[in-house]
A and B are shown apart, each in its own frame.
Chain A
Amino acid sequence: MTEVSVAKDAAPAADGLVVLKNVNKHFGALHVLQDIDLTVARGEVVVVIGPSGSGKSTLCRTINRLETIDSGDIAIDGRPLPQEGRELARLRADVGMVFQSFNLFAHKTVLENVMLGQVKVRKADKKAAEEKARALLDRVGVGTQADKYPAQLSGGQQQRVAIARALAMDPKVMLFDEPTSALDPEMINEVLEVMQQLARDGMTMVVVTHEMGFARSAANRVVFMADGKIVEQATPDQFFSNPRSDRAKDFLSKILHH
């Protein structure tokens, strides 16, 4: 992996909740993930940044096996990801995922979106599921929209519903793939605030984002990717004030100074 040492407070704890070892993935001839080693500790917030096409989304998606890998190992909470099937489905339920394009179930109301996984996957009782769904919707600030369909909500509201839908499964870790990139500027903050709160509550999070403010204030660690490799990882302070690799310096100068 990288030669760059990671500062003490950014060092992954021994019990990695998410552990990737020597992960490789190709799309045809394109080697999108190259020897990726990454450990995310319980309660840790890891922000993944890097130029477009560097493999951030792919990395995120391999963690709950929406993308298969060619070689290497991925384990969640000590259990290796199984093959496609019932067991994998169960494991996926423990990994929440928030997409750039929200992907709320278009034919279901907001409330149903948040109840569905609880009832069908966790086999929760309908009434308990509804109570929990309403509490979660309140928590992300869209409680009054419960009976609307996703298309009737603003992007920011939809993304907060998507977060509530993922939280309803009581995930051990939450993956965010550019959760604010499809949002109008005035809606970005309402989503980031929900994510900040989650981080403060101790949720383990892997966040792909270009929101450097969020990385600075909420991340324990920044992972910088380029060309399918993890080039550098450090605390946000270290990374933003003193990036070591040329790739990172170049990237930061592009996104911070214009």
Chain B
Amino acid sequence: MNVLLDHLPEFREGFIGTVLLTLASGLLAMVLGVVIAGFRVSPIAPLRFFGTAWVTLFRNTPLTLLFLVAWFVVPVIFAPGLNPWTKALLALGFYTSAFVCEAVRSGINTVPLGQAEAARSIGMTFFQTLRLIVLPQATRTVIPPLSSIFIALTKNSAIAGAFSVTELFGVQKLLSDKGFAIAWIFLWVAIGYLVITFTISGLFRLLERRMGVAR
């Protein structure tokens, strides 16, 4: 108990770090995931190829390996001088985007083909069709898997702690190094994660109910 009260600032900072990292990489993953899903159903072959390659790469690579690449390869080849937080954001965002993409794509596949045909036949472009007709109807089926994906993302963000980004899981290391009782630290850290994941699943359940009512 005292561990928490005595180190409230550290816990708070860690908690906020996890929330921010999850939010930011979640947002990045959403944007990338939807765009790449669009690529994967597009009539343009190179885009489809790119989309497939993206998903194959990021869905099948262990996240820890992506972190290592972000830390030791990306700065050398692409962008030197990225701060750790940004590197963690990229690794988490890219990794999660592959899962978001597949969830969105399977949602797209549940929308009857006739909807897209009707949209195209009144002169909508491919992207208008996707944005105005197909994606809105796919949303309802995409929400439940997205909920799981974001909960997984929250927990995956713990890896960033091992790479010295300030976040909840890193607090555990910091304090146990100082010799505090491990069980209590773990408990408080776990509760911190629970708060975040419960919030996520609650929000998504709310969203789901909303969509259910609207038709």
Q: How far is the CA of A91 from the CA of B208 in the complex (A)?
A: 38
Residues of B within 8 A of A103 (CB): 112, 114-115, 117-118
Residues of B within 8 A of A105 (CB): 115, 118-119, 133
Interface centre among A120, A121, A165 (most CB of B within 10 A): A120
Contact, CB under 8 Å: B122 / A93: yes
**Chain A 99-137 per-residue mask, 1 if CB under 8 angstroms from chain B, else 0:** 101011111000000001100111000000000000000
Cβ of A9 < 8 Å from any Cβ of B? no
Total residue contacts A-B, CB cutoff 8 A: 70
Residues of A within 8 A of B121 (CB): 64, 66, 92, 95-97, 166
Cβ of B124 < 8 Å from any Cβ of A? yes
Residues of A within 8 A of B132 (CB): 116, 120
Q: How far is the CA of A64 from the CA of B9 in the complex (A)?
A: 65
Contact, CB under 8 Å: A66 / B114: no
Partner of B123, one of A89, A101, A106, A151: A89
Q: How far is the CA of A253 from the CA of B132 in the complex (A)?
A: 47
Q: Is the interface of B mostly helix, strand, loop or mixed?
A: helix
Known A105-B115, A106-B137, A107-B215; judge A66-B125 contact (CB<8 A): no
**Chain B 120-143 per-residue mask, 1 if CB under 8 angstroms from chain A, else 0:** 111111101000110011000000
Contact, CB under 8 Å: A121 / B124: yes
Partner of A149, one of B43, B117, B120, B215: B215
Partner of B122, one of A149, A151, A169: A169
Contact, CB under 8 Å: A104 / B125: no
User: CB within 8 Å of B: which residues of A?
Assistant: 64, 66, 84-86, 89-97, 99, 101, 103-107, 116-117, 120-122, 149, 151, 162, 165-166, 169
User: CB within 8 Å of A: which residues of B?
Assistant: 43, 112, 114-115, 117-126, 128, 132-133, 136-137, 215
A-B complex: 10 closest residue pairs judged by Cβ atoms? A93-B123, A103-B118, A117-B122, A103-B114, A97-B121, A121-B123, A89-B125, A92-B123, A89-B123, A107-B137
* 28 interchain pairs, CB-CB under 8 A: A64-B121, A66-B121, A86-B125, A89-B123, A89-B124, A89-B125, A90-B123, A92-B120, A96-B121, A96-B122, A97-B118, A99-B118, A104-B118, A105-B118, A106-B137, A107-B136, A107-B137, A107-B215, A116-B122, A117-B122, A117-B123, A117-B124, A120-B124, A120-B132, A121-B122, A151-B215, A165-B118, A165-B122
